[in-house]
Structure formats: C-alpha cells, structure tokens
Amino acid sequence: MNETRMLIGGQLVDAEGGASFDNVNPATEEVIGPVADGTRADMARAVGAAREAFDTTGWARDHEARKSGLLQLQAAIEAEQEELRAELIAEAGAPLLLTYGPQLDAPLREALTWPAEMIDAFPWRRALPVKNAFGTGDAEREVWKEPIGVVAVIVPWNFPMEILLNKLGPVLAMGNTCVVKPAPDTPHTAARLGRLVAEHTDIPPGVVNIVTAQDHEVGEVLSTSPAVDMVAFTGSTATGRRIMAAAAATVKPVFLELGGKSANIVLDDADLEATLAGAAGCCMHGGQGCAISTRLLVPRSRYEDAVELARASFENWAYGDPTDPSVLQGPQISARQRDRVLGYIDQGRAEGARVVVGGGRPDHLPRGYYVEPTLFADVDNTMTIAREEIFGPVLCIIGYEDDDDAVRIANDSSYGLSGTITSGDVERAKDVARKIRTGTLGLNGAIWYGPDAPFGGYKGSGIGRQCGIEGLEIFTETKTVGWPAAPTT
Ligand code: NAD
C-alpha cells in the first residue's frame, strides 16, 4: 500500500481540507494512487514543528539519539526495501536494474550509516593557540561546530530516494531538524519514509517533517520563512535561482545542487572502440541524471570513426518497460518532460546538427512517456543542444583539435557539475582533469561516487557539496569562543 499521508510534528496527517492529488506511473500513464496535497498552511505547520523540535528538544546535542535514530531508520527502510523498490520503479520510471545500484541499494547501504558513524568522528571542537597570530592575547580559544537549525530539504524526482537519503543522513547526523519537500512526481516514496520515521524510530516528533504537494509554489514557504535556517535544494538551475533570491530576504544560506552539461572527453590516445562501446550509457534513466556526460568530445581526426562507434552503441541500447531487468532506460517522468526533450531535438535539427540515431517517440511504445535514444553528430558547442541541459536520452558529439581545445570546449559551459576523461595514460588524463572547472570527474571509467565523496558543482551547477566531510560541514554553523587563559605559574 502506498502511504498517502504527510508527516508533520510526529503525526501522519492528511492535507488541510483533505485535498489529494494523483501520482501517475510514467511507464503506463496509469494512476498509482492519491497522496496528500499539502498547502502553504501545512508547510508552515511543518516548519513550526521543526523549529520547536530544534529549540526545545535535546536532539541537537544528543549524539547517541541521533546515531540510533539514523540506524533505526536504516533498518526500517531495509525491512520494506522491496516494496520501496516497486514504488520507486512505478513513480519515477526508474529501471529495475538501476534500483540495485544508484537509485536505491547503493545509497541505502551507506547514506544514513556513514553520517551516523561520522557523528563521533566529526571535529566538533578545534582549539586555537592561546597567543593569536600577532603574538598577543592570552585567551583560551576554541572553534565550535554546531547544527545550523531548521533545514529545508527540497528534492527532485529523478533520483528521489538517493538524493533524499544523501541529504537526510548528514542533516540529521549534524543535529538539525528538517522539513522535506519531495517533487510532486515522486511523492509516495517520500511519504513512505515519513511513515517509517513515525512508526519505526525514536526520532523525536518534529525532527523530520515531510510535506507532499502538487503545487511547486508551496515550497516557497521554505525559502521565505524566518523560522527556516537553511535551504538544501537539488533541482534545476532555474528553480535554484528562485530559491536563492527568495532566501535572500531572510539572509539564509542556500545549498544548491543544480543542473549539468558535462563533457565526456576521449583523448587521442584512448582506445576509441572500447570507450565508445558504452556511448549510449548516457541514456541511462532516460538521461534524467544531472551528472551524466551529455557532450561527447572526440578528436576531430577520428570524428567519423567515433560517430559510427557511437551509432552502434545507440542501436544496441535496450530501452522500454522499466520493470524489464534488461533495460537501463525507461520513460521520461511526464508528458511535459517528454515534450520538452522532443523540443530540444527539433531545435538541434533546426540549428544544423545531424540526427544519427533516434530523434522522436518510439513507435513500439505507444503508452508511456518514452523518447528514442538520440545521437546527434555535427554539433557545434554554440548550439542550444550543446549548451542547455536537455534531461533526456540525447548525446551530442563534438570534435576538437587538441587537448587544449578539448579543455576549452569542456569549460565553455555555464555548468560545471561532472565529467569523464579517457586516455591511454592516466597521468595525461589527470593533467587534463586539473584544467576542467567541474565538481567531479571520472578518469578511465573509474567511479568516484560514495557517501564519503563530496558531490556538487562549479558555476551554474550549484553552491556547496553533498556527501563527504564537506557535506557534513555544510549543515553546521561555526562559533568561536574565548575565555581567560589559566594563569601560568
Ligand atoms: P525542479 O527545479 O523543477 O524541482 C525540484 C524541486 O523543487 C521539486 O521538489 C519542486 O517541487 C521544488 N520547487 C519548484 N519550485 C520551487 C520553489 N519556487 N520553491 C521551492 N521549491 C520549489 O527540478 P526537477 O525537474 O524536479 O529535477 C530536475 C533537475 O534537477 C535537473 O535540472 C537536474 O539537473 C537537477 N538535479 C541536480 C542534481 C545535482 O545533484 N546537482 C541531482 C539531480 C537532479
């Protein structure tokens, strides 16, 4: 059974007035079921509950309660892991195979447990020398790290559990309380999490609140409320800008994980055949991943070979029903997103790029919001399809002259989230990596992902880092305290 209620102040509740909206399966276009349609008043009540829990309970200082709360939640999720998997596939269109990895099982292994382990290891206090840098003063001095307070956690629909767990773990480990706002396209998995918190953990009422809502604007309460101390957001750059502007009125910090247009650079000494055998991998989950490399940069001298190798990869790529264990690409999340992707494909054609494979809706999948895996050649980095985040199964192949040119093209983007480099010489790949302005890079197929690995973007891809020590620190405030040094004898 899907959970339909929200979690506010420790209670599982319906929306004010009992309103609900339908959650739709993007692979079948069928209604999965209703879920509470929270209002601004519900959101304000959730903020009040989080504020009260932060200000009046010992949660912020009680390391043991936080550790056990996180581990209880982990165990509760694991007990319903298969139901959660089915729910995730149904509401996000996430391919089953991906739920065994980054969509569910991978974050579930560590996203809560690693922050729980780090509660004791975290440097909560740091002593400064009694004499300051000028050699004067005689105060004992310490820097204290403290929770930041009430954190708004606003998440998107593409990796709904992965992103939520990777925020919730650090937020709670660092002693904060929170209000979670899931995306309207993926409310049931978040609502289930709310029930698990309420029914299977000793996390105090109000520490975690989850408000589902169809209307994005309900989330604005979180950016504008003076009772919220920080907004932690993952989503589009356009929404990130709005949140940052709204948060400015109350001078609250914002932590933004935004879009990407990452480059996959294949250097001229790479094994082109082996590397491009996986070219269609960028269509994983319908290309609905912020860190996917969607610009393939290949040496101009080998351009046509690269196009043919990528073509073979795209033509062999399995996509369709996300419950089919052989596919890695399901539908786009909604008709709106599908049409947006198709609009970009039309624009690519209109601007002179060549469609090598795909380019439309698949005839054999009349139901569901599917888009064909689409490969574009003859792409110039100034074209719209090379500059804007399409969030669809679309790859652009761009030629470059030499390593410097590849670096220039990779950096010629308003984004800087991720990327990949392949070379016959890993030291050469590292040299290129040093010049790329981006938050994460995988060299020669290596995977950097993990709860201990900071993830986030340069430039328009965001502010701050999720995961790793940086992803714990971001949810803390810093207090410097001095007191008279004990007299020396
Ligand atoms: P979105 O920006 O439309 O929505 C994200 C969340 O913000 C949703 O919960 C939405 O309801 C909420 N929201 C929308 N307007 C709001 C407002 N004014 N105030 C408060 N909340 C508001 O993004 P999306 O379409 O759900 O997700 C896709 C985007 O997310 C892509 O751009 C993708 O690159 C990005 N993304 C980034 C990362 C990352 O870590 N950098 C990870 C995944 C997705």
pLDDT of residue 121: 96
- Residue 91 appears among annotated catalytic residues: no
Residue 399 contacts residue 393 (beta carbons within 8 Å): no
pLDDT of residue 1: 86
**Mean of pLDDT values over 59-66:** 98
Pocket of ligand 1 (CB under 6 A): 154-159, 163, 181-184, 216, 219-220, 222-223, 234-236, 239, 242-243, 257-260, 290, 389, 391, 417, 457, 462
State which of 91, 231, 261, 290 you would mutate to test the pocket of ligand 1, scoring each by most atoms of that ligand within 8 A of its C-beta.
Answer: 290
378 — pLDDT class (breaks 50, 70, 90)? very high
138 — pLDDT class (breaks 50, 70, 90)? confident
**For ligand 1, atom 36: residue with the closest CA:** 235
% residues pLDDT > 70 (the chain): 99
**Ligand 1 atom nearest to CA at 236:** 32
Give Cα separations from 411 to 405, 407, 432, 459 (angstroms): 10, 6, 11, 10
130 — pLDDT class (breaks 50, 70, 90)? confident
487 — pLDDT class (breaks 50, 70, 90)? confident
177 — pLDDT class (breaks 50, 70, 90)? very high
137 — pLDDT class (breaks 50, 70, 90)? confident
- Out of 3, 87, 110, 257, pick the active-site residue: 257
| pTM for the whole structure | 0.97
Rounded Cα distance between 119 and 438, Å, is: 29
**Mean of pLDDT values over 305-319:** 98
Q: Is it the case that residue 143 has pLDDT exceeding 90?
A: yes
489 — pLDDT class (breaks 50, 70, 90)? low
How far is the centre of ligand 1, averaged over its atoms, from the C-alpha of 239 (Å)?
A: 6
State which of 47, 158, 218, 341 you would mutate to test the pocket of ligand 1, scoring each by most atoms of that ligand within 8 A of its C-beta.
Answer: 158
Residue 212 contacts residue 35 (beta carbons within 8 Å): yes
Q: Which residue has the higher pLDDT, 486 or 101?
A: 101
Q: Is it the case that residue 134 has pLDDT exceeding 80?
A: no
Cβ-based neighbours of 410, under 8 Å, separated by 6 or more: 263, 265, 295, 297, 419, 436, 438
- Residue 372 appears among annotated catalytic residues: no
- Out of 290, 372, 389, 396, pick the active-site residue: 290
**For ligand 1, atom 8: residue with the closest CA:** 183
How far is the centre of ligand 1, averaged over its atoms, from the C-alpha of 482 (Å)?
A: 42
How far is the centre of ligand 1, averaged over its atoms, from the C-alpha of 199 (Å)?
A: 29
CA-nearest of 5, 80, 78 to 37 is 5
% residues pLDDT > 90 (the chain): 96
Q: Is it the case that residue 122 has pLDDT exceeding 80?
A: yes
